[in-house]
């Protein structure tokens, strides 16, 4: 059955792979599932046809036969559960990998996302510097713990899993700041994940969308 996901018609990140369709593309590449992409404009995202797929009017969505999903974490979990390669078979190891998926989205992503949003949207506010410093402290608190847990290991819990895929997807948002460089093992962890062929293919695919839109 054909898998169709949605992505920005023109991503505001200019092809840097920071929008959340990237994690879905990456997961599908890791498990070797072909997929199609329907590009949507900001206007189309708020119209009934898209709201029927994504109640909050956002990307990404996932359609496969009569199944429609939204929320990138739920989509990655669905892909990981249906196909081999992103979750361990052993029950406890699988549950731990899922814990890391939630940790990425619920514990690490909020301050990281707020930080990148502040850098884009709040620069003109009189309290901008103060807010930025506070968000950086929140991020460091999380990265201190994550770095301590990872130590010298390649991945968070044994083999590469959907937990690593989501964690790296979140950490990649920090690349334009210097924060990640304060944690050499986390910077190496991100680089290791980016070197994966599946990541490279997913990145190239989303970049091609931006390049085509810019050429047109």
- Cβ neighbours of residue 57 under 8 Å, at least 6 residues apart? 45, 46, 50, 51
Phi, psi at residue 57, to the nearest 5°? 70, 40
- Which range of residues in 12-20, 122-130, 136-144, 186-194 is near ligand GTB by CB under 6 A? 12-20
Residue found by looking up tokens 């989303």 in the block: 206
Instruction: Give min distance, CB of 86 to ligand GTB, in A.
Output: 17
- Which range of residues in 58-66, 123-131, 142-150, 202-210 is near ligand GTB by CB under 6 A? 58-66
Query: Closest Cα to residue 132, out of 120, 150, 147?
Result: 120
Structure token digits, residue 199: 């990541």
Residue found by looking up tokens 């929008």 in the block: 19
Q: Does residue number 59 form part of the binding site for ligand GTB (CB under 6 A)?
A: yes
Q: Does residue number 72 form part of the binding site for ligand GTB (CB under 6 A)?
A: yes
Q: Does residue number 58 form part of the binding site for ligand GTB (CB under 6 A)?
A: yes
Instruction: Give min distance, CB of 16 to ligand GTB, in A.
Output: 7
CA–CA gap between residue 161 and residue 119 (Å, rounded): 30
Q: Does residue number 79 form part of the binding site for ligand GTB (CB under 6 A)?
A: no
Among 3, 5, 19, 86, contact with ligand GTB (rule: CB under 6 A): 19
Phi, psi at residue 3, to the nearest 5°? -100, 130
Beta strands 67-70 and 36-40: pairing type?
Answer: unpaired
CA–CA gap between residue 151 and residue 81 (Å, rounded): 28
Among 9, 64, 71, 157, contact with ligand GTB (rule: CB under 6 A): 71
Structure token digits, residue 114: 């707020």
Phi, psi at residue 37, to the nearest 5°? -125, 130
Among 9, 13, 114, 122, contact with ligand GTB (rule: CB under 6 A): 13
Instruction: Give min distance, CB of 213 to ligand GTB, in A.
Output: 14
Q: Does residue number 6 form part of the binding site for ligand GTB (CB under 6 A)?
A: no
Measured from the CB atom, the residue of 22 and 150 that comes closer to ligand GTB is: 22
Q: Does residue number 20 form part of the binding site for ligand GTB (CB under 6 A)?
A: yes
Q: Does residue number 106 form part of the binding site for ligand GTB (CB under 6 A)?
A: no
Please give the residue ranges that form the binding site for ligand GTB (CB under 6 A).
12-13, 18-20, 45, 57-60, 71-73
């Amino acid at each position: 059955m054909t898998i169709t996901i949605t992505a920005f018609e023109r991503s505001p990140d200019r092809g840097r792979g920071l929008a959340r369709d990237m994690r879905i593309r990456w997961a599908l590449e890791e498990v070797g599932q072909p997929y199609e992409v329907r590009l949507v404009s900001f206007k189309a995202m708020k119209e009934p046809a898209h709201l029927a797929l994504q109640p909050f009017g956002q990307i990404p969505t996932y359609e496969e036969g009569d199944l429609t999903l939204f929320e990138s974490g739920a989509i990655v979990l669905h892909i990981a559960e249906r196909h081999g390669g992103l979750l361990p078979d052993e029950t406890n190891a699988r549950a731990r990998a899922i814990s890391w998926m939630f940790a990425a989205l619920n514990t690490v992503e909020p301050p990281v996302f707020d930080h990148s949003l502040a850098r884009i949207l709040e620069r003109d506010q009189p309290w901008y510097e103060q807010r930025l410093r506070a968000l950086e402290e929140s991020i460091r608190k999380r990265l201190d713990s994550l770095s301590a847990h990872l130590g010298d290991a390649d991945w968070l819990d044994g083999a590469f899993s959907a937990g690593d895929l989501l964690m790296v997807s979140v950490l990649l948002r920090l690349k334009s700041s210097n924060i990640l460089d304060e944690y050499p093992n986390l910077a190496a962890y991100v680089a290791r994940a980016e070197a994966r062929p599946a990541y490279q293919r997913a990145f190239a695919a989303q970049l091609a969308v931006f390049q085509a839109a810019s050429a047109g």
